[in-house]
Amino acid sequence: MGDEDRPGFPWPWLLPSLALLAALTVWGVGVYPHLPERVPRHMGPDGVDAWTGKSVGAVFLPVLLHAGTTALTAAVAATLLRMRPADRIGPHERTSSLLNRPATRASALRTARATLLLGFCVGLSIAATCAVMWRTEPDPDVPAWLFAAALVPIGPGVVPVLAAAARDRRERPRRPGRRCVSRAAPGTHGRVGRLPRPRREGGTDMSDYSGPYGTDHDPSEMMKARARKKEREAEERARQTVQDARTRPSSTRKTRPGDEGEGEETGE
């Protein structure tokens, strides 16, 4: 399958995360010399409840987290765009059920953009925690608005991802006839399950079937195959009847008038 219609990487949706990463790096470098010897390590509902010694790793941990989040979301977006969508998979091809492919190229682009937006929103939440960790005074109190600023960006980032996933599910093509309802006796309920695997019995031509089990489980095609099988069986029975009639012993055949041995005896 050609890649001429593959959408390009949405760089404009990655630029906000990269800009935020650069801003956090500059901010951290500028504030590092003025930080106290102890910096916050964890904060909870009651404020900062754990401290650690000042070091490059402890101070720039939020920056490293945002860098990792940006790299992860960019890798996921690139993988989605390079992946062959479900509408490009032929009905006869086998694919792994563990791989969740996008429905279409457009769906892959929407999901990639939503993923990059989620990475930026996570970066905003990390930036809010930096406002607590990089205070020049070791104050254990944390204003309530900082907690809100750290949690609020996550919601707007998750909503587009869920919306893209829901739309992708609606656009996903359905495989024909994966399940069927079996015939049941009167007064009983039919069972829902897979159709049996077709076998080559009686010369049945199953060459027009395809799928993971040798058939695409199309009920109409299976009915046509059964009809063709019955026609061939009827022709075979007719040929066998004609052959039996030709090979039947002469003693069992009816005699015709004029044959030898037939006529009235004379001499009386």
What are the Cα distances from residue 70, in Å, to 22, 121, 267?
12, 10, 124
Beta carbons of 161 and 112 less than 8 angstroms apart: no
CA distance 105 to 81: 7
CA distance 173 to 241: 51
The yes-or-no verdict on residue 252 having pLDDT over 60 is no
The yes-or-no verdict on residue 66 having pLDDT over 50 is yes
Tokens of 217: 């489980």
Burial (CB count within 10 angstroms: exposed 0-12, middle 13-18, buried 19+), residue 127: buried
In terms of pLDDT, which residue wins out, 225 or 248? 225
pLDDT digits (tens, 9 = 90+) for 141-156: 777 777 777 888 888 8
Stated pTM of the model: 0.60
In terms of pLDDT, which residue wins out, 114 or 49? 114
CA distance 92 to 98: 18
The yes-or-no verdict on residue 34 having pLDDT over 70 is yes
The pairing of beta strand 192-193 with beta strand 47-53: unpaired
What are the Cα distances from residue 65, in Å, to 9, 147, 161?
23, 18, 21
Give me the amino acid identity at 200: R
pLDDT digits (tens, 9 = 90+) for 160-183: 999 999 998 888 766 554 444 444
Domain boundaries, the chain: 11-171, 201-245
